[in-house]
Structure 1
Amino acid sequence: MASTFSKLLTGRNASLLFATLGTGALTTGYLMNQRSVCAEAREQHRLFPPSGRRMVPCVFFKLLNEFYYIYRCTTIITTKFYSISIRGNRNSSLLQVFADLFDPVIKLRHNGYDPRVMKHPTDLDASKITQGQFDERYVLSSRVRTGRSIRGLSLPPACTRAERREVENVAITALEGLKGDLAGRYYKLSEMTEQDQQRLIDDHFLFDKPVSPLLTCAGMARDWPDARGIWHNYDKTFLIWINEEDHTRVISMEKGGNMKRVFERFCRGLKEVERLIQERGWEFMWNERLGYILTCPSNLGTGLRAGVHVRIPKLSKDPRFSKILENLRLQKRGTGGVDTAAVADVYDISNIDRIGRSEVMALSLSEHEPTKAA
């Protein structure tokens, strides 16, 4: 083992790989692959992210041959509990180049979806949703969101300032063509007062500046707030975030429990945005194996998160709460989203699965579940 491990520590390509992927994850993946590792060490291995566990010697040596491209594919796997992100080149080819690393992680994260043999379906026909009215004694608001990346421009962790500004220009030029109840205007973060920004954040309309290591280590806060902003219709029920974690985040939301109406607006608006972008000579990143390509592998496929703010004072105190949600293929976040606490027993409950099921299928499976949990 010593002679093999010494090879991992020498050579220019190995140094580049260590620098980019992180020595903690690489050595973890290598060492924990040994059959002689004791039970205690294997338990520690469980705490490391999937990307570290999958970095076994055969994958490591294969990736050495791709050292030139590794700079375009960054991960944040040097610390326990962190995950990987796609630094992106200008299309989805890196997911193919690093398939030996990404595919097992995708399969583990997405409930067994195997991108090597499966194809991802897409369906934005909202008329197929027959129900979707939640009990408003519990559900305070409903929201559907996804992300879209513009082919030809690097993803946020690797994009230059010029590319980020190009994303903004492409998006707002297209959004100016929205009509009817989708019509609205764009607000640049750099031109907003701190008070206006905070008001929109408190109302759950606007994203905040990235502060967590997961995002800052991936370069999400570079040049902040340059070329970032929010577009919303005049009713504030259809929103586009520009240059947050993804090139664009498309959101439909409203107070109350009418998820069917929220989803209908989401599908109609998303299709119209895509049409307007295509008219201007651009397109979204997509392939048949992985669906829509977004920065975080957890959002591959539909990128869709259909969620509600729901008040569940009793269930949330039950020690089985997390397991119940897991069995329903749901996840919980705090009132303010990821990495926040629940306020007044209000949780953000949404679907876990993003890939392998179409948008309609995901919503059909989710439209009953939050109130089941409640």
Structure 2
Amino acid sequence: MKRDADFKALAQFMGEWMRGEGPESDIAISTRIRLARNLADFPFIRRCSDEDRLSIERSVRARMESLTDPQFQAANYIDLEPLSELDRQLLVERQLISREIAESDGSRAVAFDPNEGYSVMINEEDHLRIQVMKSGLDIKSTWEQVNRLDNLLEEVILYAFHQQYGYLTACPTNVGSGLRVSVMLHLPALVITEQMDRVFRSMQKINVTVRGLYGEGSQYSGDFYQVSNQVTLGHSEAELLSLVADEVAPQIIAYERKARESLLNNNRDDLHDEVSRAMGILSTARKISSEETMHHLSKIRLGVSMGLVEHLDVKAINQMFLQSQAAHLQTLQGGVLGTAERHARRASFLQKQLTGKSDNSWN
């Protein structure tokens, strides 16, 4: 495993989950499956001493390095404790680590493959959080890969496991399989037609949670929503996978498609006007915030998916979504920027991406 990373090169790279490929990728941005695991020989993180956390990190790293599987040999391994706040935030924006591990203290790390298809967080809420992400709605192959990674790690790590209850986790709702199945969806038509409350209510009835772009506690931004199973206790892996793959995600995607069809048939001129206005603002603005950028890019992405914008594709919009966020923007610019300077640099970046030119320099 490589133990360092070129963060500027990382910011320029599009990971697998943002490539705009895979089934239903016009609406389903990505599929993520995460497993929560703990080492049998240590207390849960909240009861760990600093020495315990360091021992866990070193133990897991050594065992991962002992694996001969090519996926682990090629992985990047990053010690999060000495990183700057900017570098940690960039990893959050790329969905490689959670906000919780980025903002916590003590020894903690992440390992991820060069294509960013998987990451393993060490010393998050649980000792290990193993996750795989793929573009589009692709639960079957995502599950196969994360299950394989988990099996490889279990060959060299003794997990905390109870014969009756299953895998033991810091949060009781994760006990059992420790499985969280999550799909990130772009739902602008449901927002425009004011149907999201109905979606929220229907999901609550079947123990599915709806969160923002960065998961638990994050705000809804750019019409992105993450839907996932709420509990694992008392449910098999097959049941949880089927819940999201066969019931939840297809149902919400069908709602969104129906809403898009209605907008196109009944409000085409208004929709085209909204998309054109969004394009005009991002192509000419001298300063713009991240929140406003997400709002307008969402409209443009909808226009691309519905054939109203011909010179862009979903992958290009996804790249603008990612690289216009604060940590990516600053990393590509070479350092920390104040709020006003970020707004100006973001506007320049977007102009260049949309028109091929900008009023300010972009390095």
Interval containing the TM-score (normalised by the shorter chain):
0.5 to 0.7
Deviation digits for residues 171-200 of structure 1 (CA, Å, limit 9, x no counterpart): 111111151234313100123333322211
- Kindly tell me: are residues 178 and 198 of structure 1, through their superposed partners in 2, closer, same or farther at Cα, counting changes over 3 Å? farther
Structure 2 unaligned segments of length 5 or more: list them.
Answer: 1-21, 254-363
1:194 to 85, 89, 95: 85
Is the CA contact 1:299–1:354 (under 8 Å) kept in the aligned structure 2? yes
Rounded Cα–Cα distance in structure 1 between residues aligned with 2:134 and 2:58 = 27
C-alpha RMSD of the superposition? 2.0
Deviation digits for residues 224-245 of structure 1 (CA, Å, limit 9, x no counterpart): 1x21111112221121101111
Deviation digits for residues 82-102 of structure 1 (CA, Å, limit 9, x no counterpart): xxxxxxxxxxxxxxxxxxxxx
Other structure's SS at 1:151 match? coil
**By how many angstroms is 1:290 displaced?**
2.0
Larger helix proportion of the pair: 2
Amino acid at match of 2:45: P
Aligned to 1:143: 32
TM-score norm. by structure 1 comes to 0.57
Aligned to 1:365: 243
Aligned to 1:306: 181
Other structure's SS at 2:61 match? helix
Aligned to 1:249: 129
1:174 to 54, 59, 63: 63
Other structure's SS at 1:190 match? coil
1:205 to 84, 96, 99: 96
Deviation digits for residues 32-75 of structure 1 (CA, Å, limit 9, x no counterpart): xxxxxxxxxxxxxxxxxxxxxxxxxxxxxxxxxxxxxxxxxxxx
Is the CA contact 2:212–2:219 (under 8 Å) kept in the aligned structure 1? yes
What are the residue-to-residue correspondences of 1:153-168 with 2, within 5 Å? 153-168=42-57
What are the residue-to-residue correspondences of 1:280-295 with 2, within 5 Å? 283-295=158-170
Other structure's SS at 1:343 match? coil
Rounded Cα–Cα distance in structure 2 between residues aligned with 1:169 and 1:269 = 19
Runs of 4+ in 1 over 4 A off after TM superposition: none
Other structure's SS at 1:201 match? helix
Is the CA contact 1:147–1:294 (under 8 Å) kept in the aligned structure 2? yes
1:268 to 144, 148, 153: 148
Is the CA contact 1:182–1:269 (under 8 Å) kept in the aligned structure 2? no
TM-score norm. by structure 2 comes to 0.58
Structure 1 unaligned segments of length 5 or more: list them.
Answer: 1-132, 212-219, 278-282
Other structure's SS at 1:367 match? helix
Rounded Cα–Cα distance in structure 2 between residues aligned with 1:209 and 1:264 = 26
Rounded Cα–Cα distance in structure 2 between residues aligned with 1:236 and 1:137 = 20
Aligned to 1:13: none
**By how many angstroms is 1:134 displaced?**
4.6
Rounded Cα–Cα distance in structure 1 between residues aligned with 2:27 and 2:134 = 15
Sequence identity of aligned pairs in percent?
A: 24
Rounded Cα–Cα distance in structure 2 between residues aligned with 1:285 and 1:310 = 33
**By how many angstroms is 1:312 displaced?**
1.8
1:259 pairs with 2:139: yes
**By how many angstroms is 1:326 displaced?**
2.2
Number of residue pairs the alignment of both structures matches: 226
